[in-house]
Amino acid sequence: MESPSIGDSLTARMIPRHSSLDSFGAMKVSLLVNLASIRVSKAELRQRVMLPQYLRIAIRDCILRKDDSFDASSSVAPPLENNALTPEVPLMVFVNPKSGGRQGPLIKERLQNLISEEQVYDLTEVKPNEFIRYGLGCLEAIASRGDECAKEIREKMRIVVAGGDGTVGWVLGCLGELNLQNRLPVPPVSIMPLGTGNDLSRSFGWGGSFPFAWKSAIKRTLHRASVAPISRLDSWNILITMPSGEIVDPPYSLKATQECYIDQNLEIEGEMPPSTNGYEGVFYNYFSIGMDAQVAYGFHHLRNEKPYLANGPIANKIIYSGYGCSQGWFLTHCINDPGLRGLKNIMTLHIKKLDSSEWEKVPVPKSVRAVVALNLHSYGSGRNPWGNLKQDYLEKRGFVEAQADDGLLEIFGLKQGWHASFVMVELISAKHIAQAAAIRLEIRGGDWKDAFMQMDGEPWKQPMTRDYSTFVDIKRVPHQSLVVKGD
């Protein structure tokens, strides 16, 4: 994403060291060292991040009315002479109450007490696209009338997301629509990690979990969100073209679309469906298909059906591991169920390399039961399954050193559960398949009735048919997202 107020010196998803950045880094040392130990009073925090009352009320009313036109008669009047005090870094917070071991409602209450009730949104009540359409629309309407305070707040605004990777991706995806609408600048996002894996949070220095002493940590997190530098994040568009039908209970980040496209220049091994449905979304860290997504799908359904079992990150990980065993992840050779055989039986993989317009067919290893396309260097609660590869191996395979801002996805495979376990504890690397700037998967049903997929920790069951193929196309989004660096 482009923002006129963010310099190119901050451009990176995980910024590599360059001499041009050394002076900037030295300037930031005093700000970032021991930031967690900084004591900030509630009054100081409010003065820094809280919007004037007349704007808070106006934004709230527009969201409730689902109308982005400012109604002066139903809102608090602005101060005379338009001299309202503008916060240094105005914050808006989104809370997923289902995250954080179901501590979301308590965290929301604490946040509302620290800043203001109108600046903290429960995602079960106010969706991020509703805030962007009606809330930001209202603020922009007020600014267009000459309100300098509203204009400055719109330009300086930052977003805080309290939730897991899926929640963060959902908010980032909705904010990305501002680029298409030419409504700049796009607010950068900070993360309060309340999920299970929290790989996006780890990648940008916000940690793998929220502290047990979360009441005091919230104030420090809000302060960090208002002062920390901004970096850029590549995002990836995914388009699923499937035979007529629908995905039951798709994740928030996956939406139905009429724009179905199948590249006729590519060899198609299955049958073309006579009619198609499409789903489109954006992911920021990873997309996967296979057994890991099936385990995630089972875990998510259990958590929704029996929320009392998922009461914290540790309990979640124990349940998650249990599902890995119960789904056949470790028992492949003892079970003849076709649903537990390798992905090679149903999947064809094509890729485009960086700066190339030609598709290349890549073989899927016979033993692989999960294929992952990874954007950042964190998967499965902070692991790096691609590994730190030696230069001679990179040259032999035609790879380049994996960087977080290289415009490439690292594609790797996981075999049976024992292999995945050794990869997760980083004793070995995953099965390296390719590096790609674009990906096309063709999935043929056969004996498979469903394939399990996930992106950024949000899984779904992809229906399949015996007669026709399903296609998954992945390409890089032109605009980058802005994420606040927490470390």
pLDDT in tens, 180-229: 999 999 999 999 998 878 999 998 999 888 776 777 789 999 999 999 99
Contact 128, 174 (CB under 8 A): yes
pLDDT of res. 146: 92
Instruction: Identify residue 72 by its one-letter amino acid code.
Output: A
Count of other CB atoms within 10 angstroms of residue 230: 18
Helix (H, G, I), strand (E, B) or coil at 257: strand
What confidence category does residue 15 fall into, taking pLDDT thresholds of 50, 70 and 90? very low
- Residues 335-374: tens digit of each pLDDT: 445 444 678 888 999 999 988 888 999 999 888 889 999 9
pLDDT of res. 33: 40
Stretch (H or E) spanning 92: strand 91-95
Could you tell me which CATH number the domain at 236-480 has?
A: 2.60.200
Q: What is the pTM of this model?
A: 0.78
Instruction: Report the share of the chain in percent with pLDDT over 90.
Output: 41
Q: Structure tokens of 60? A: 């709230």
Mean pLDDT (the chain, rounded): 80
Distances (CA, A) of 342 to 290, 366, 415: 9, 6, 8
**Beta-carbon contacts of residue 221 (< 8 Å; ≥ 6 apart):** 160, 190, 192, 206
Give how far the C-alpha of residue 415 lies from the chain's centroid of Cα atoms, to the nearest Å. 25
What are the φ and ψ backbone dihedral angles of 190, each rounded to 5 degrees?
Answer: -105, 160
Peptide bond into 187 cis (omega under 30): no
70 pLDDT above the threshold of 70: no
Q: Structure tokens of 291? A: 């057994």
Domain segments of the chain as ranges = 42-228, 236-480
- Residues 142-191: tens digit of each pLDDT: 999 999 999 999 999 999 999 988 899 999 999 999 999 999 999 999 99
pLDDT of res. 313: 55
DSSP 8-state class, residue 436: E
pLDDT of res. 322: 52
How do strand 481-484 and strand 236-243 relate by DSSP bridges?
unpaired
pLDDT of res. 166: 87
pLDDT of res. 237: 94
258 pLDDT above the threshold of 60: yes
259 pLDDT above the threshold of 70: yes
pLDDT of res. 311: 57
- Residues 432-465: tens digit of each pLDDT: 999 999 999 999 877 778 889 999 888 999 988 8
**Of 301 and 295, the one with more pLDDT:** 295
DSSP 8-state class, residue 188: P
Stretch (H or E) spanning 110: helix 104-114
278 pLDDT above the threshold of 70: yes
**Of 93 and 72, the one with more pLDDT:** 93
pLDDT of res. 341: 60
4 pLDDT above the threshold of 60: no
From 241, 239, 235, 250, select the one nearest 280 (Cα to Cα).
239
**Of 50 and 15, the one with more pLDDT:** 50
DSSP 8-state class, residue 358: -
